[in-house]
């Protein structure tokens, strides 16, 4: 296999979110625990605008949002809620430049994908944006432009780094299955056709113009669709990889697409030994029949999802477990 990846063999990284409200302290933790593939932390405990939807909504171009009791909703003009989302991100970027401005390796940033965003932001009338194809097109175009600007700004702040763009799409499988509830909760929105979903995701990936990772911690990950949209790596919870997904996962590995495999829980739990953490990953690789030496090069180990619900102590333990397990895989199979 001649596929190249921006990370070194035996690498670990995080998914995105962390507990706490101090971006500088959290970024220093990330840089210390994940030196070979750090990322920009997300701190939803800071409140509205720091959550997954609100944070990315602040990137939208000419589509302001406001916060309603039911969640995020498009508004006619920017207000305090839009300003809050942008202020959080501006603070994070200032801290990023101050603390990590000299970083000279791969560095990952995260945004919410168009389908998860469309399933969580409401139109002015209260329906989910996902219900209206025209609104979804406008949202996708706005997000693509906003993501392009965001990647460019991160590159300006980290001039020596290679920026990796993670697009979070936990809501995509539900959108494809037609199981996203309406705003009232009494019915379900019509399923999105796979070619339409692929095209929308592709537009955002292409606009970002960076090594694209799509994260989906739900069941029924649409591997083929994500590859078709241009994902160069796919991030999943390894505990949700039943054998019925073997063909799709095998095709993904064979195509040279990287895998970010969630191997430790995202909330406080007793962690097994390093060998116990590594064994499910090794078993997957053996079951699919791929050479062991490809594992540490093509796969990156992560927590199963974000760590916002974990304690600070567990965060350090979980990241260390991922890092040391990835190193052990490299030393054993490299």
Number of domains in the chain: 1
What is the model's pLDDT at position 243? 76
Would you say residue 334 has pLDDT above 80? no
CATH of the domain at 37: 3.20.20.210
CA–CA gap between residue 20 and residue 96 (Å, rounded): 17
Report the alpha-carbon distance of residue 105 to residue 155 in Å, rounded. Answer: 12
| pTM assigned to the model | 0.96
Residue 33 phi/psi, 5-degree rounding, is -90, -25
Q: Which domain holds residue 157?
A: 23-46+103-333
Angle at 303 between CA 143 and CA 321, to 5 degrees: 145
Is the confidence at residue 244, as pLDDT, over 90?
no
Do the domain assignments include residue 89? no
Q: Which residue has the tokens 């990322």?
A: 39
Q: Does a structural domain hold residue 191?
A: yes
Query: What is the three-class DSSP state of 306?
Result: coil
**34 domain residue, yes or no:** yes
Residue 180 resides in a domain: yes
Give domain status of residue 322, yes or no: yes
Q: Tell me the pLDDT band of 126, cut-offs 50, 70 and 90.
A: confident
User: 């499910």: which residue's tokens?
Assistant: 280
Task: Tell me the average pLDDT across 295-301.
Answer: 96
Provide the pLDDT for residue 333.
63
249, 245, 236, 233: which is closest to 303 by C-alpha? 236
Residue 20 to residues 29, 53, 93, 222, Cα–Cα distance (Å): 12, 18, 17, 33
* 75 found inside a domain: no
Whether 64 is covered by a domain: the verdict is no
In a domain, 51, yes or no: no
């Amino acid at each position: 296999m001649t596929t190249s990846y921006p990370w070194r063999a035996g690498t670990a990284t995080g998914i995105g979110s962390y507990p706490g409200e101090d971006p500088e302290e959290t970024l220093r933790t990330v840089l210390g625990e994940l030196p070979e593939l750090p990322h920009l932390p997300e701190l939803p405990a800071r409140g509205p605008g720091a959550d997954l939807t609100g944070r990315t909504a602040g990137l939208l171009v000419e589509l302001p949002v406001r916060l309603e009791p039911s969640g995020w909703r498009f508004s006619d003009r920017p207000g305090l809620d839009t300003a809050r989302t942008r202020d959080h991100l501006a603070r994070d970027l200032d801290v990023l430049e101050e603390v990590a401005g000299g970083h000279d390796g791969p560095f990952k940033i995260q945004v919410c994908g168009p389908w998860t965003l469309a399933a969580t932001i409401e139109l002015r009338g209260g329906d989910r944006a996902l219900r209206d194809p025209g609104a979804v097109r406008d949202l996708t175009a706005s997000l693509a432009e906003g993501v392009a600007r965001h990647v460019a700004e991160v590159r300006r702040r980290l001039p020596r780094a290679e920026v990796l763009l993670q697009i979070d799409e936990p809501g995509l499988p539900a959108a494809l299955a037609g199981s996203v509830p309406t705003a009232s909760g009494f019915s379900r929105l019509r399923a999105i056709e796979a070619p339409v979903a692929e095209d929308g995701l592709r537009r955002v990936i292409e606009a970002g113009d960076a090594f694209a990772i799509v994260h989906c911690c739900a069941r029924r990950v649409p591997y083929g669709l994500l590859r078709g949209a241009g994902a160069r790596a796919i991030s999943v919870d390894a505990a949700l990889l039943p054998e019925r997904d073997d063909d799709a996962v095998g095709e993904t590995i064979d195509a040279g697409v990287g895998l970010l495999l969630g191997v430790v829980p995202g909330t406080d739990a007793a962690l097994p030994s390093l060998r116990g953490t590594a064994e499910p990953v090794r078993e997957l690789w053996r079951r699919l029949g791929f050479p062991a030496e490809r594992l540490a090069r093509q796969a990156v180990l992560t927590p199963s999802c974000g760590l916002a619900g974990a304690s600070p102590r567990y965060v350090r333990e979980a990241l260390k477990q991922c890092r040391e397990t990835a190193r052990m895989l490299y030393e054993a199979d490299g």
